[in-house]
Amino acid sequence: MSDVLTSLTRLLNLLDSLLGSAQYFPFLLLGTGIFFTFYLKFPQIRFFKHAWRIVSGRYDNPNSRGDATHFQALATAISGTVGTGNIGGVGLALYLGGPAALFWMWMTAFFGMTTKFVEVTLSHKYRAEDEDGFIVGGPMYVMERRLNMKWLAVFFAVATVVSSFGTGSLPQSNSIASGINSTFGIPEWITGLVLAIILGLVIVGGIRRIIQVAEKLVPTMAVIYIVGALGVIFANIDQVGASFVAVISDAFTGSAAAEGFLGASFAYAFNRGVNRGLFSNEAGQGSAPIAHAAAKADEPISEGMVSILEPFIDTIVICTLTGLVILSSGVWTEKHHTVFQGFDMEFVQGHYSETDPADRNALFTHLSFTMEADPVQSFDGGIEVINGVAVGSGFTVLHNRSLAEEVRYYEGDSPFTGELAIEDGKLTNDVTVKGKSLVHSVELTTIAFTRGIFGDYGKYIVSIGLVLFAFSTSVAWSYYGDRAMTYLFGVKSVLPYRLLYVIGFFIAAVADTSLVWLLSAIAIAFMTIPNLFASLMLHKEMKALIDEYWHDFREEHPDGY
């Protein structure tokens, strides 16, 4: 099993290095948003106020073609984006890249507002109807009906189905189960089973039931989470200013080492911030256009304007709150007791100390995947353990990109005694390892929420928010996946897909967290790259649609807004 996991990990890391973690990917993503921002003259600023008027229902026409109102389409799309990316994803970005990563999440959101405006507008314009009379849309219809690139449309649709598991089912279930277990001690499999049953009951009802769930869940979960976050921020208000300074000052230099955090280069913080920003708001991924295509609107541009609000709400508001909670509380540099996961644990040769600058620099180079020669060597050999404590020397345990402390080994619930076999830095024995190290994702955010006015009750706010956020994301992504299945194989393929989706949701509850996040990053890239290509191909059409919209709007509303 260890060999299979190692081989799978290497394959996924290779794919990720060619896609989402490749040097070109964040430039492609940000570059597309920057291009459209200037080409369309900053629509995320010019149309921001008008977008709120549209979503309020001021211009709604009940006779327009579609299955949802502007607000319902927005709520459904937000339910698909506001998920573990806002809780665990921010924690992961700061753990990897330090404060600088939050700055690049902001940039991804700001320029992503324009990218989403473009992709939603085009998908709404080229939408169609399925065999049952429901609206279907998304980038695959743009690629086929406008660009006459059926092969690319099929590739995107397949990627959407895969990404529905990699973004909507697997990481959401994994994060919920992990968060509930750490807070309430409920086994992951029980949480996964209960929520999988509820998920199945919701998504069987199709788009109408999904819309009903989304429009009620989104406002509720936002209020609960924002109140909890402000409770931490106000309790650590003296550190908020310093946190903002660190975010901005580190943006172009990378984040320096601080206590247990070994530092992050500019390139690493930039890459992780952009990637986590995309995972959070999905701007450019092509997912939200599938939900917005169902909106009742005669003008595609009007629905595109509504979508501008998504990255703003999702990243600039909610992710910023999470980031400030983590940074101002200081937990991102602290080591905490945790169970070590094999994916994040490594045994290296020699003894390293955080207090030695040379050791810190060597470990920083080792963990940053730079082009420099790696000064740290993996450990191979046996380690003697007596009553859970390693008595050998000549090695150091790394976990979660930090030097592990107070490491203990267990066989079941009892301390392990015997010899550990280490191959290429990885533990091959079937033992449980516990100790102190940096933590990330949901676990980091949960700890941070206990450092506010709510005290230990803060972790319950995270757990409730996590369940609502992640579950709503899973519901929305099931819709994206079944629309892609409808495009590929017709309406009859939807039910088998939904059953597999629910099963995957349950299995992911007990899967390795880091492996799930890695799979998610790969699936996202497979959607994003063809979608950005299609959007860029139609840049002139976008400008023409904007001009046409305002011409018609002024004729219909001569007195102004």
Q: What's the 3-state SS for 279-304? A: HHHCCCCCCHHHHHCCECCCCHHHHH
Q: List phi, psi (to 5°) of 398.
A: -105, 140
Output the pLDDT for position 3: 65
Same domain, 9 and 24: yes
Q: d(Cα 479, Cα 199) in Å, to the nearest integer?
A: 12
Reported as a single tens digit per residue, the pLDDT across 360-386 is 888 888 887 655 678 889 999 999 999
Q: Is 37 exposed, middle or buried (0-12, 13-18, 19+ CB in 10 A)?
A: buried
Q: What is the pTM of this model?
A: 0.84
The domain of 407 spans 336-437
- Examine the domain organization and report whether 407 and 323 are in the same domain: no
Which single residue is written with the structure tokens 């001690």? Answer: 185
Instruction: For residue range 453-490, list pLDDT tens digits in order.
Output: 999 999 888 888 878 888 888 888 898 999 999 999 99
Q: How many domains does the chain have?
A: 2
Last residue of some domain: 437, 459, 486? 437
Q: What is the CATH number of the domain that holds 36?
A: 1.20.1740
Same domain for 426 and 494? no
Do 411 and 496 fall into the same domain?
Answer: no
Same domain, 239 and 103: yes
Do residues 265 and 139 make contact, with C-beta atoms less than 8 angstroms apart?
no
Residues 151 and 28 reside in one and the same domain: yes
Span 38-71, pLDDT tens digits:
999 999 999 999 999 998 888 877 777 877 777 8
**How far is Cα 464 from Cα 159, in angstroms, rounded to an integer?**
31
Q: 428 and 460 share a domain?
A: no
Q: How far apart are CA 173 and CA 169, in angstroms?
A: 6
pLDDT in tens, 191-235: 889 999 999 988 887 767 777 777 787 788 888 889 999 999 999
Last residue of a domain, one of 408, 437, 466: 437
- pLDDT value of residue 514: 64
Q: Is the pLDDT of residue 498 over 60?
A: yes
Q: What's CA 556's distance to the chain center, in Å?
A: 41
Is the residue at 561 inside a domain? no
Q: Which residues in 487-499 are b (16+ Cβ under 10 Å) and which e? A: bbeeeebbeebbe
| Whole-number pLDDT of residue 561 | 57
Could you tell me if 237 and 346 lie in one domain? no
Q: Which helix (H) or strand (E) holds 514?
A: helix 513-537
If asked whether residues 301 and 421 sit together in one domain, one would say: no
Does some domain include residue 195? yes
Does one domain contain both 20 and 143? Answer: yes
